[in-house]
């Protein structure tokens, strides 16, 4: 009878999971245990994540690049782009800060019956054109050169954003908006801004 009682007790221990280590661990969980709170002076998490890494510069850019439209009848050469405050093609700044850029351009345009109205568009990709560093006539058969100083405002986008320069051929530059021919390709990158 003792053996039967002993077997019955051993069987009950296994049935009820008393010998199961997982059951024992669960048995020691306190349901009313205090919640571990973070210190009240801890910085709140941000939705945007960590700040961008502005220490790693994008690839080196050439000092000059050429653009063309209208089967080569319209050409624009951009040379010597630099950001005045840094003396280079790169700047690290805050969103909304202003900075000056300067560069040289040379136009030729024989695509019109008379003088063409052309623009040197400047802006961000990703993003839109912010304005025009040149907006005027290019006499047919002559080249037009200039060295503008153009004030830009840093975009709101965090991290590196390219500054691009492109040909515009509207009747006027107008206000900031879309690029005349869509966002310029990578070979029309003049510089970079990193917003932190």
Report the distance separating Cα 88 and Cα 80, nearest Å: 10
- 3-class secondary-structure state, position 154: coil
- Whether 18 and 70 map to the same domain: the answer is no
Domain-located, residue 132? yes
Q: Which domain holds residue 130?
A: 64-195
**What single-letter DSSP state applies at residue 85?**
T
CA 36 from chain center: how many Å?
38
Strand 98-109, strand 143-146: pairing: antiparallel
Q: Which residue has the tokens 């049935």?
A: 15
CATH of the domain at 88: 2.60.40
- Whether 165 and 108 map to the same domain: the answer is yes
- What would the pLDDT profile of 4-20 be if each residue is shown by its tens digit? 444 444 454 444 455 54
Measured CA distances, 114 to 43, 141, 177 (Å): 64, 10, 27
Q: What local confidence, expressed as pLDDT, does residue 39 receive? A: 30
Considering only CA atoms, which of 159, 106, 169, 165 is closest in space to residue 130? 165
pLDDT bucket at 74, cuts 50 / 70 / 90: very high
Quote the pTM value: 0.73
Domain-located, residue 57? no
Residues in the chain, total: 196
Domain-located, residue 41? no
- Whether 75 and 23 map to the same domain: the answer is no
Domain-located, residue 162? yes
- Whether 102 and 164 map to the same domain: the answer is yes
Lowest mean pLDDT: which of 23-37, 56-70, 83-97, 128-142?
Answer: 23-37
**What single-letter DSSP state applies at residue 183?**
S
| Mean pLDDT within 145-153 | 97
pLDDT at 99 > cutoff 90: yes
- For the chain, how far is it from start to end, CA to CA, in angstroms? 81
Domains contained in the chain, number:
2
Q: What local confidence, expressed as pLDDT, does residue 21 receive? A: 45
Q: What local confidence, expressed as pLDDT, does residue 7 receive? A: 42
- Whether 84 and 166 map to the same domain: the answer is yes
């Amino acid at each position: 009878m003792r053996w039967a009682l002993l077997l019955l007790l051993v069987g009950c221990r296994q049935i009820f999971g008393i010998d199961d280590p997982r059951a024992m661990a669960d048995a020691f969980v306190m349901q009313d245990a205090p919640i571990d709170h973070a210190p009240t002076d801890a910085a709140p998490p941000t939705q945007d994540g960590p700040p961008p890494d502005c220490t790693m510069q994008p690839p080196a850019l050439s000092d000059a690049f050429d653009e063309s439209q209208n089967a080569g009848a319209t050409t624009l050469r951009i040379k010597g782009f630099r950001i005045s405050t840094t003396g280079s093609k790169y700047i690290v700044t805050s969103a909304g800060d202003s900075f000056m850029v300067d560069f040289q351009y040379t136009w030729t345009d024989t695509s019109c019956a008379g003088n063409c109205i052309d623009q040197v568009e400047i802006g961000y990709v990703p993003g839109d054109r912010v304005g025009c560093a040149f907006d005027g006539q290019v006499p047919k058969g002559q080249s037009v050169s200039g060295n503008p100083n153009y004030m830009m405002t840093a975009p709101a986008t965090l991290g590196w954003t390219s500054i691009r320069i492109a040909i515009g051929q509207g009747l006027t530059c107008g206000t900031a908006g879309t690029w005349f021919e869509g966002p310029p390709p990578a070979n029309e990158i003049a510089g970079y801004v990193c917003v932190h």
